[in-house]
Chain A
Amino acid sequence: MKKTMTISVLAASVALGLGVSGAAFAAKIPAGTPLAAKQEIVRNNGSEAESLDPAIAESVGANNLVRDLFEGLTATDNEGRVVPGVAESWKQKDPTTWVFTLRKNAKWSDGSSVTADDFVYGIRRFLDPKTASTYATTYGAFLLNGVEAAEGKKPVSDVGVKALDKFTLEIKTPYPVAFLPEVVSNGQLGPAPKAAIDKFGKDWVKPGNMVSNGAFVLKEWQVNSKVVLAKNPQYWDNKNVQLTRVTYLPIEDGFADVKMFLSGENDWVYQLPPGTYEKYKAELPKDIRNAPMLGLRYYGLNHKDPVMKDVRVRKALSMVIDRDILAAKITADGQVPAYSAIVRGTSGADVTSYDWAKWPMAQRVAEAKKLLAAAGLKPGSKVKFSYNTSEYHKKMAIFAASEWKTKLGLNTELENMEFKVLLKKRHDGDYQIGRNGWVADYNDASTFLTLVQCGSEQNDNFNCNPKAEALIKQGNQAQNPAQRKQLLTQATKLIMDDYPMIPLLQYTVPRLVKSYVGGYTTKNPMDRYRSKDLYIIKH
């Protein structure tokens, strides 16, 4: 609860244009902490980065690397707070105009200055249809003419990004975007080294060619084996960077990951495999770390389906799933029960819930049975559940099927499939109940609302509530963050009362990080750790 407060208060203060002074915000090492002589770390990154080009990076892993190699106008620190990056301060001149003042000592790794023009070039390149970035319309939506440029309807020069002088950047948004300072911390909206890109083309991201402006530079990259970064001597804040060498591993197999952690080849397990959290919590209490993050596990309900079309059926299915047992016994890794499309810790809206969430289960079941009977769905009816194969999803699916069977008498046909096949079915509306999940791209309610908004790409439920849609539109135009928050919360409540989906659990990141890795906090709702904020304690 407290965490929610700090984050939203901070977001609000930033949004109000208070700005932040240019003090250094890195690796705040508690006084008296002895540091190890060897400041090196090995982090598993979960999978091989699809690209190190900040404009193209899409996955969590690729963005982790981009955050170390490049620095945007702002950054987020190890507690998820927005801190100055290349910009030392910023102002919201009017509701849709922001002015960022860049620090003059920010340098590329080749020694040249990072200028406002580098940002203009970087952002235009990111939105350029030829670059074909998958995030182009996601982040482009926050820039004036951004989406139009990404769609090729307007030239990229029309995008609302302008260099007022060498060290002053102006960004115009299509509507008041209170959380813009956080959005611009993403590498996609960062600077790009034009000279290197022109010289090497696609190969500019290879070791030896890459010019970057982050706390680290690219030293070595072996596909599917490792990426090695070294401290960047040209970085403006390099005296506050402790690590000299960061090795990222691309291990996908969770068990292999843990084994390398246990044998000492890896300091950072990307994510514990299902069913092992309790074991390592007991065996390695100093290394185990777990904290909720901005992510939601849910089951989508296809509104095009003749059975799921009925809100009574959707409500009954959602009511009888005991999230407390699911969290405590089935997934058993500290995840938090969820009853809304928006998870705790998200700024921009309050978390809504259902009245029945507090009812005793017997009452919920009785009510759900009534709803099903009214909808004409008799016990013994069949529902079809589609999921992509993974131990985790399988366990949850068997649990849900068992809840529907024992409490409602419904027979669930479990249908597992390969991930891309499921995606296709979901996007085509060729399913009844489908496994789904979402991790926030930025800390604002709007990222979660895309899951349930009319006609949104991310809405596989195909639900639409026009009233809520109007409220969201109204909220996005609101200049007062408190008013926007109130409108978005109201809209969320309206949408959730339609039962478009079954929210189940809020993600956590159960992982092992060696106890001597300093700077790792459990207060980072986006799970974004710059290696700049990490250090190795003497051990």
Chain B
Amino acid sequence: MWSYALRRVLMTIPTLLLVITVCYLMLHATPGGPFDTERKVSAAVMANLQAKYHLDLPLWQQYLLYLKSLLQGDLGASFRYADWSVNELVGNALPVSLAIGGGALLLSVIIGVALGIVAALRQNSLIDYFVMLVGNLGSAFPSFVIGPVLILLFAIWLSVLPAGGWNDFDPRYMVLPIALLTFINVSTIGRVMRGSLIEVLNSNFIRTARAKGLPLSTIVFRHALKPALMPVVSVLGPLAISSITSAVVTESVFSLPGLGKLIINGASNRDYTLVLGLVVLVTVFAVILNLLVDLAYAYLDPKIRY
């Protein structure tokens, strides 16, 4: 298994190379450049800017230059945030995103799995319908509606929490964004958990256990939970990627300085280096998270071997 994990980590390199190349070409094919603004600059100034950022070189040369600096761990200078390097920008935003996204993920696993279990054990009863009604709030209403409603409720009417902003991991500023992301994730996890647990509870080995007269709690927690968690673990990879690296709506509603904001600003400003830097980050993230998911499979189902 360890050799499998090692091989997977090594696979990151060709994956990165491919994704960088694809995104690099896409960026340069997208209309509008980093220095196009409402006030069009003169041809001479444009030439100055391009020379400053080496955009005057042929594409392949810029590409090689980028790869070279990437090898040295340097993601380059940002165009949009002219005073900062991409390393600095990512370094500032990553902890914020990890705190919000990671916190929300943890909470939503706990709440989602619990709701799923309750609903599955009371399948097709009023309790089931009600739990799923509440659990699904986050997917039935868009986050750009829930977010402002949360602010209205807690920041303006009750004035117990700030309406937005970020203050050095001050928990008061983290409550609402985490709540919003949790809302969204709980509905996914809860639904998957419910369906999966019902399926496991109906399988032969659980029926046997029930027939033997084991108490329900033992059956659920000793025997059914592990196999039922398989699909939940599957969705955790994608959920973690979206909660941490692209919580764009949450960050915008609550004015947070996270990665999602950088991605949107980077792409809409054609900030080539910033976008590529984030692509690198998200790819590494995706590879690692999905590796963890795959290792978790082997733990949940001993028959799975790599």
Contacts A253-B252, A259-B155, A457-B40; A223 near B32 (Cβ below 8 A): no
Q: Is the CB of B252 within 8 A of A256?
A: yes
Q: Is the CB of B92 within 8 A of A418?
A: no
Distance of A181 from chain B, by nearest CB (Å): 23
Interface residue B227 (Cβ < 8 Å from any Cβ of A): no
Interface residue B261 (Cβ < 8 Å from any Cβ of A): yes
Question: A residues within 8 A CB of B253?
Answer: 253, 256
Q: Is the CB of A251 within 8 A of B164?
A: yes
Query: What's the Cα separation between A136 and B49 when bound, in Å?
Result: 11
Which residues 31-76 in B have Cβ within 8 Å of A in the complex?
Answer: 31-33, 35-42, 44-45, 47-49, 51-52
16 contacts between A and B (CB under 8 A): A58-B37, A58-B39, A138-B39, A147-B44, A256-B254, A256-B255, A259-B163, A259-B164, A262-B155, A263-B151, A265-B165, A419-B268, A421-B31, A421-B32, A423-B32, A424-B32
Q: Is the CB of A223 within 8 A of B252?
A: no
Interface residue A129 (Cβ < 8 Å from any Cβ of B): yes
Query: What's the Cα separation between A58 and B48 when bound, in Å?
Result: 15
Query: What's the Cα separation between A56 and B49 when bound, in Å?
Result: 11
Query: What's the Cα separation between A245 and B255 when bound, in Å?
Result: 21
Q: Is the CB of A129 within 8 A of B51?
A: yes
Distance of A92 from chain B, by nearest CB (Å): 28
Interface residue B262 (Cβ < 8 Å from any Cβ of A): yes
Query: What's the Cα separation between A348 and B255 when bound, in Å?
Result: 41
Contacts A224-B261, A256-B252; A249 near B49 (Cβ below 8 A): no
Distance of B176 from chain A, by nearest CB (Å): 11
Contacts A51-B82, A53-B83; A150 near B45 (Cβ below 8 A): yes
Query: What's the Cα separation between A132 and B268 when bound, in Å?
Result: 21
Nearest 7 pairs of A and B residues by beta carbon:
A420-B32, A224-B257, A151-B44, A132-B48, A225-B257, A263-B163, A51-B82
Instruction: Please list the residues of chain A having a beta carbon within 8 angstroms of any beta carbon in chain B.
Output: 48, 50-53, 56, 58, 129-134, 136-138, 147, 150-152, 202-203, 205-206, 222-226, 249, 251-253, 255-256, 259-260, 262-265, 418-421, 423-425, 427, 437-438, 441, 457-458
Q: Is the CB of B35 within 8 A of A134?
A: yes
Contacts A259-B148, A260-B164; A134 near B268 (Cβ below 8 A): no
Contacts A48-B81, A130-B52; A249 near B255 (Cβ below 8 A): yes
Contacts A262-B156, A421-B31; A206 near B164 (Cβ below 8 A): no
Distance of A256 from chain B, by nearest CB (Å): 5
Q: Is the CB of A424 within 8 A of B45?
A: no
Interface residue B80 (Cβ < 8 Å from any Cβ of A): yes
Q: Is the CB of B92 within 8 A of A222?
A: yes
Distance of A49 from chain B, by nearest CB (Å): 8
Interface residue B166 (Cβ < 8 Å from any Cβ of A): yes
Query: What's the Cα separation between A258 and B179 when bound, in Å?
Result: 21
Distance of B121 from chain A, by nearest CB (Å): 41
Distance of A69 from chain B, by nearest CB (Å): 13
Which residues 130-179 in B have Cβ within 8 Å of A in the complex?
Answer: 148, 151-152, 155-156, 159, 162-166
Contacts A419-B268, A427-B36; A263 near B155 (Cβ below 8 A): yes
Question: A residues within 8 A CB of B80?
Answer: 50
Interface residue B205 (Cβ < 8 Å from any Cβ of A): no
Query: What's the Cα separation between A438 and B257 when bound, in Å?
Result: 29
Query: What's the Cα separation between A259 and B156 when bound, in Å?
Result: 7
Contact of A420 among B36, B40, B92, B166 (CB under 8 A): B36
Query: What's the Cα separation between A518 and B83 when bound, in Å?
Result: 32
Contact of B36 among A52, A205, A222, A423 (CB under 8 A): A423
Query: What's the Cα separation between A206 and B85 when bound, in Å?
Result: 12
Contact of A129 among B48, B83, B151, B268 (CB under 8 A): B48
Task: Specify the chain B residue showing the minimal Cβ separation from A388.
Answer: B38
Q: Is the CB of B41 within 8 A of A134?
A: yes
Task: Specify the chain B residue showing the minimal Cβ separation from A206.
Answer: B83
